[in-house]
Structure 1
Amino acid sequence: MIQSVKLRSTPNRFCTFFKKDDPAVPSALFTAECAVPDLSGIRVPLPSRKKDYTCSAWGGDGALWLGSNGGLTRWFPDAHDEEDKVMYFSANRYLPDNHVQALLSDNENGVWVLTKSGVVHVEMKVVSPREKAYALLDETLKAVDRRGMVSQKKLAVARDISSAVPYGHSDNDGDFTAGFAIGEIFHYAVLKREKGEDDPETKQARKVATRACEACLLLMHISKRGNGFVARSYLAPDEPVPDDGLFYRLNGNKAVCLETSFSKRKNLANKEIDASTPIPERLRKLYTEKGYEDDGLIYKGDTSSDEISLHFLHIYFAHKFLGEGDPELDELLKQSAAGLAEHIVTNGYELMECDGNPTTWAKWSLRYFATEFGWPDAPLNAAEVLMYIKVTQSVTGDYDKWQKEYQKLLDMGYADLPAKHYDRAFQASLLADGDVESELMYGDNMLCVAAFWALIDLEEDKDLREKYLAGFRSWYGTICRECCPGYEYPYALCCGRDTIDLKANAKWFERTNMSRLAAGVSLGARFDIAKKIRWGGYEETSFLLEPDEHFIAKYDRNPWCFCEEDSGGVSYVESCYVYTFAYWIGIYYGFIED
């Protein structure tokens, strides 16, 4: 059995865009001969029909570049892996448009490409997976970070990462920032082991991880309700408020629910609620250092279980790796976990909004499990709330109190629910005349990982542990369908290394993009991909594309989707955590080696 895979430094795509009249563009490109060699010897499908290629150029590394009205192809039969022999480059990520008119080798590992609307210099530069992790982190800290929160940012100028606007939010800022924090916690843990606590790189990694943790904890306190309620996100007073949820503006010891379409439907618009509980000063610094005070801050409510699960997982690892060296942070972690867990338990295993009703998607009660939507949700949600109690017990050290709460859940049969996931998902999909894969909420894969990873890690009772393992295994098909090491490494830690394809996961790091610019790809222009039409007309690719040839997205999207763009395209940039979360966990636990 393979225990680990040594990662390789491999060629990665770098594209620099130019206008046609830019003096940096070689004049020879405009007079390059448009000829194509005999391609009949290539016995694999190419992204364009062989007869449709109109120009070509040989690279200095022996690769053949081919241009057509459907984009750019790189044919490199000497590639180490079969997947790398044919690579496809398309608009808008790699080309100005797909109408390639001429090619000129740069006599190294790249090519100059003339298209109908512009020019791009495509270079294949050898990069190690660790260099990629640092490049992506640097991009996130410079362009995506918003007072410690990292999700995505809009760009004032398309493709220009440096033009990221200072405002904006995502519906799941807490979720995505917690995922980022976990990745950086493991980054710190790896460097501490490799270089020691006092090394400057280790200290910097700890600083980044700590700030992300503080940003998550701030969301657990910013409502000032004093009852453990967690906000989805928050905005500064000068940031625009979208019309997509419940937003509350702080003003003194009160908060007012702003008027949005959603707040009006919920009859909460202009409702005034208590906001008298002070925010811990250490967390306030995230916005006071930017010149803001409490008054005028706007937080988003109607929080979902997505945020709650990732917050508890982040608290678990922050306590484990950061707490000992930072008692103040550790105390905040303990208070935050206990406050949120107390809220959930006190309110009958539901997260309550200010009107006394549960939020839309944060319900773990038997009452909810008995509903049409709650019945298929119950196996995952049961694992979630069991994990919340175990993490709170572990972090706070208050064993007796939280063991009583844990036992209550066991007495109500919560431990027996997780293993029912696939059966219930299958039955629910049949009732909808669908299928499990089409019906799947792909964001639930991350929630599954968050719940079972910590729960199984903390459970010492052999029989309970086996029940939870059975629950985790019931997700195996949908988790491994994505070939995402961020899911598969935690799964393997719990269920065994022989359960996943370590080589395929290692390949994912090599082929992940060097940037999280959300520029789309042109799947519709490809000749070598067939569509699979699933339930309700939902379209998927006939095979799973490499990460650098499908759309950029967070962990909550189906990578098989026949979709050319997600997250706003060339005018948005995403956080690095999709890569860094998986990479540093993989290094720390020895699934991969540099």
Structure 2
Amino acid sequence: MFMMKKQGKLIAGVLAASVLFTLPVMPAYAAKDPAAGYSTVQLEPVQMKEMTYYKAGSSSIPATIQWVTDTNALEFLPLSVIGDVTSVVKDADGVYWIGTKNGLQRVNFKEKDAKDIVQYMAGPRYLYGGDDLVTGLASDGAGGVWVRTASGVTHIAMPKRTLYDKSFTYEKLITPVNDRRGMITGTPFTFTETNPGFDAVDYNSSTGVFKGTPKTDDNDGLWTSMYAIGEIFRYKALQEQYGASPSPEQLQEIADAKKSATRATKAVLLLDYVSGRGNGFPARSYMLTSEAHAQTTGNSIYGFQSQNGFWFQHFVGPDAVNPNGIIPSMKRTDKAPIGYAMVRVTEDAMKKKGDTLFPSGGTDVMNYNGLGLSHEAIAELNKTRPEGQKLGEDIKTIVGVIENEGQEDEMISQVLPVITAATNNVLVKVDKTTGVDNKPLFQLTVPVYEQIPAFFNDLFPDTAILDGHIDMNQIVYKADTSSDEVIGHYALFYAAYKYFIGNSNDPELEQLKDYVEEATHRMTELILKDEHYYIEDATGKSTQWSKWFGKYFNDNRAVMEQQEQWKFHVGVDGAGNDALSYGYEDAPLNALEVMAALKAANFITAAKFPADAAKYEAAYNMAFDGEYSKGEPYVNGKGYIGMANEYIERRLVRQATNAYNDNDNKVVNRDNVTEYNTNANATLHNDWTQYINYSDEELAWFALFILVTHEQEPGKRQQIVSAFDQWFENEKREENPFYTFLYQLAHPERTDIDLQAAVRYLYRLPEFQVTFPVQNNRQDVFYIEPGDRDKDRKQSNYVLAPDERRTMKNNGNPFSADEQAGAPNPNYNYNGGTMEAGSVFTLPYWMGRYFGIIKE
């Protein structure tokens, strides 16, 4: 015991030395603007739901429970409206628990927030196996309730807890469940109760063990950035709260936050180095070749990989001889390749032709946003290919057919990254038969110029380290990176530089700072290369979504404005056909993204790359200089703040144009509408909220986070905030602190922003982010038709509390009646499932703490 105490003091001393190393640089102070008009919300302990699940017949169900199976306690409703009520208890605090044939209700007339008076509990999150027919209730005497159904029993405890306490649950689950070498996202998990005498599932059990099996995610960088930003604010909030003389326990807490923030930031940074291209290309994700989802048929580079996407496997070393030439945009004169990476055989590599960008652009490969190679890339690769094996001539994939009546049909072909004997010169399809004895006819490669820096070694197991470096031959990385990833990287690097590492004299953080500066510089140079405003991939073209050039948003805009239909928000050409470019509706978001990227890059690179930082500042300022281009010649970046302020307008235009297309090329009105679909109805009512892409709302947050917290020039800031105002028109309905807290920072003078509703979201968010199916068939909710992107899923007309709807990230529609629970399952598996990371809580909570929006 004594030895342990001495060791504890020693550890505390070491922590004091390491953590306090940075404290003098950033003294304790409130980050809230002294001139702000809003009042900080004082948080308080509230009752939160904690469930324990007992299967019917469990030996651990207390035998002393006295079940109530009548409705005598229900005093405030007439008998005519309680026909489906099965049992009612009124506890000592006057709270009613009402069991019905369709779930459980908690009614507490003393709740401070009227929206919490009636709380609805159904589906497997609350009732065993999703059996919503309640057969008995019993108060637990401590504010909670025991609920019985034919499938089992649930104990819903209601202990009072603070949000600070709740934050620890999310934190403690990250390492065992959600962490894959520092990358954080939702993942399959198992839960094992190690106490053989306890026959139930209680996620709060001190003897329960969580274990995740995280795998690659399409947006590893984005989700990890979100988590890391929250951890950075956790670190700052704790530092400033505890001041210059923290206790050993507080030092440990600060050190934990620093460790988490550092690890997650490094994991995102690694994505900017993992390709080895050395040009700032940010990968979507990566895997080790040993991972289950990285396996191929026959365990060779030539075999089919089921994990879809645009994946490359490294071949690095003196024996690595690239079988192909190097396309012009991937050539470097300052370095020789140390190897190459070859594309894996996947469905996307064989089939992803993409969509056309411009209605007037024809069938040329450059008018598609898929994986077809550019003409320059094909020409260069053909220089080293023998006759009879020329790309585009002998080897190509048919991606479409234009039927010509009375004449021979026209074949549209592309050179996709993988072409096999079975896919060559035929209509695009998947071939899963390739292998060592049946190699593809063409398999794209890209040079590798750089070894992954040893700085990232600690993210990997020892088995992946060779001669002091990460063994790149064990790496498979995912390309075709989207703007989602890019803006996530910039937001994290900005947050890290401004709030975590920028002025630090901590050696570990100084090294991290060097890589943040370099990665930001490289990625920005890649975007601005030849002023093309996109991320170029190994195909010689832009990736599918990382596009910020003017023509992408505004092709044919000047022509459309001259048409009669334009005054009805319909964009057509002179012939009356849809003329909106593929990226038309993305313009407001993407304008904010590239502006934020330039603003962040200028800030981060000013010390190390001053000349380029000045270039970024000039490009950023150009966004506020006049109007954006509406025709040739397009000036990329010019006037983009104008596009940023067209969020609502562009959704109305795209929606009305879709309705026009569905209405036989006639502007929709009440007299001529032929099909009352979502687009038509929303157009008639001028309701742009039915055409929202909720993922865009989330992405706009990352851009606005940079711009709102860093732009101080009044004229520019006003225009940025004006753009935010349009996004928040819908976001305020969601009552999500992720949006509300940032909006308060955009409007520090306002006192009418509903911070209490945002705090309620934090109170009501489930403690364990398990993706349970939910019961959407409720009589207390009025449902409206699905949104444009919701398929056949109806929407609630107001946002339900987070613990009454599906578990989700911020990129989905919170009004959508999704993940509907099915029939009761008495064998429901509470010992496994999928669990999202708690970032939707930790980021706004700690950011709100740091900026003085909320306080414990």
Structure 1 and Structure 2 fold alike (TM over 0.5)? yes
Asked if structure 2 preserves the Cα contact closer than 8 Å seen for 1:221 and 1:279, the reply is yes
Q: Secondary structure at the match of 1:3?
A: coil
Alpha-carbon offset, residue 60 of structure 1: 4.3
The change in CA–CA distance for 1:62 and 1:585 in structure 2 (over 3 A counts) is same
Alpha-carbon offset, residue 481 of structure 1: 2.3
Asked if structure 2 preserves the Cα contact closer than 8 Å seen for 1:7 and 1:593, the reply is yes
Asked if structure 2 preserves the Cα contact closer than 8 Å seen for 1:508 and 1:546, the reply is yes
Q: 1:336 and 2:371 equivalent?
A: no
- Which residue number corresponds to residue 582 of structure 1? 844
Alpha-carbon offset, residue 18 of structure 1: 1.4
Q: 1:277 and 2:450 equivalent?
A: yes
Q: 1:4 and 2:40 equivalent?
A: yes
Q: 1:554 and 2:809 equivalent?
A: yes
Alpha-carbon offset, residue 128 of structure 1: 0.4
Q: Secondary structure at the match of 1:298?
A: strand
Distance (Å, rounded) in 2 between the aligned partners of 1:86 and 1:243 = 44
Letter in structure 2 aligned against 1:254 = Y
Asked if structure 2 preserves the Cα contact closer than 8 Å seen for 1:552 and 1:565, the reply is no
What stretches of structure 1 of length at least 5 have no aligned partner? Answer: none
Q: 1:268 and 2:407 equivalent?
A: no
- Which residue number corresponds to residue 130 of structure 1? 164
Asked if structure 1 preserves the Cα contact closer than 8 Å seen for 2:189 and 2:213, the reply is no
The count of residues paired between Structure 1 and Structure 2 equals 588
Moved more, 408-417 or 420-429: 408-417
Moved more, 272-281 or 227-236: 272-281
Asked if structure 2 preserves the Cα contact closer than 8 Å seen for 1:531 and 1:542, the reply is yes
Asked if structure 1 preserves the Cα contact closer than 8 Å seen for 2:178 and 2:212, the reply is no
Asked if structure 1 preserves the Cα contact closer than 8 Å seen for 2:733 and 2:798, the reply is no
- Which residue number corresponds to residue 259 of structure 1? 345
- Which residue number corresponds to residue 459 of structure 1? 711
- Which residue number corresponds to residue 256 of structure 2? 204
Alpha-carbon offset, residue 417 of structure 1: 2.1
Alpha-carbon offset, residue 535 of structure 1: 5.0
The equivalent position to 2:618 in structure 1, one of 407, 424, 427, is 407
Q: Secondary structure at the match of 1:432?
A: helix
Distance (Å, rounded) in 2 between the aligned partners of 1:483 and 1:222 = 38
Structure with the larger helix share? 1
Q: 1:360 and 2:540 equivalent?
A: no
Alpha-carbon offset, residue 589 of structure 1: 0.6
Q: Which has the larger radius of gyration?
A: 2
Misfit runs of 4+, over 6 Å = 157-161
- Which residue number corresponds to residue 307 of structure 1? 485
Distance (Å, rounded) in 2 between the aligned partners of 1:165 and 1:38 = 44
Map 1:378-527 to 2 at 5 A. Answer: 378-397=587-606, 398-408=609-619, 410=622, 412-433=638-659, 434=679, 435=682, 436-496=688-748, 497-498=750-751, 500-524=753-777, 526-527=778-779
For 1:127-154, what per-residue CA distance to the aligned partner results, in whole angstroms no more than 9, with x for missing partners?
1011111111112232111111111111
Alpha-carbon offset, residue 80 of structure 1: 2.7
Asked if structure 2 preserves the Cα contact closer than 8 Å seen for 1:153 and 1:164, the reply is no
Moved more, 444-453 or 582-591: 444-453
Distance (Å, rounded) in 1 between the aligned partners of 2:83 and 2:802 = 27
Q: Secondary structure at the match of 1:139?
A: helix
Letter in structure 2 aligned against 1:509 = L
Q: Secondary structure at the match of 1:155?
A: strand
Distance (Å, rounded) in 1 between the aligned partners of 2:846 and 2:116 = 24
Alpha-carbon offset, residue 304 of structure 1: 0.9
Letter in structure 2 aligned against 1:299 = Y
Q: 1:154 and 2:406 equivalent?
A: no
Alpha-carbon offset, residue 223 of structure 1: 1.0
Q: 1:112 and 2:146 equivalent?
A: yes
For 1:322-372, what per-residue CA distance to the aligned partner results, in whole angstroms no more than 9, with x for missing partners?
211321010011001001101111161111110111111110011312352
TM-score (norm 1): 0.93
- Which residue number corresponds to residue 120 of structure 2? 88
- Which residue number corresponds to residue 560 of structure 2? none
Letter in structure 2 aligned against 1:379 = P
Asked if structure 1 preserves the Cα contact closer than 8 Å seen for 2:517 and 2:605, the reply is yes
Alpha-carbon offset, residue 28 of structure 1: 4.6
- Which residue number corresponds to residue 15 of structure 1? 51
Alpha-carbon offset, residue 62 of structure 1: 3.2
Alpha-carbon offset, residue 219 of structure 1: 1.0
The equivalent position to 1:169 in structure 2, one of 194, 206, 216, is 216
Alpha-carbon offset, residue 461 of structure 1: 3.8
Alpha-carbon offset, residue 464 of structure 1: 2.6
For 1:197-253, what per-residue CA distance to the aligned partner results, in whole angstroms no more than 9, with x for missing partners?
762211111111111101110111111111111111112222214533111122322
Q: Secondary structure at the match of 1:417?
A: helix
Asked if structure 2 preserves the Cα contact closer than 8 Å seen for 1:449 and 1:491, the reply is no
Alpha-carbon offset, residue 408 of structure 1: 4.0
% identical aligned pairs: 28
Q: Secondary structure at the match of 1:427?
A: helix
Q: 1:287 and 2:460 equivalent?
A: yes
Moved more, 230-239 or 269-278: 269-278
For 1:63-88, what per-residue CA distance to the aligned partner results, in whole angstroms no more than 9, with x for missing partners?
22222221111122222322222111
Distance (Å, rounded) in 2 between the aligned partners of 1:243 and 1:431 = 36
Asked if structure 1 preserves the Cα contact closer than 8 Å seen for 2:95 and 2:107, the reply is yes
Distance (Å, rounded) in 2 between the aligned partners of 1:207 and 1:290 = 23
- Which residue number corresponds to residue 310 of structure 2? 246
The change in CA–CA distance for 1:538 and 1:19 in structure 2 (over 3 A counts) is closer
The change in CA–CA distance for 1:84 and 1:458 in structure 2 (over 3 A counts) is closer
The change in CA–CA distance for 1:290 and 1:306 in structure 2 (over 3 A counts) is farther
Q: Secondary structure at the match of 2:543?
A: strand
Q: Secondary structure at the match of 1:558?
A: coil
Moved more, 289-298 or 476-485: 289-298
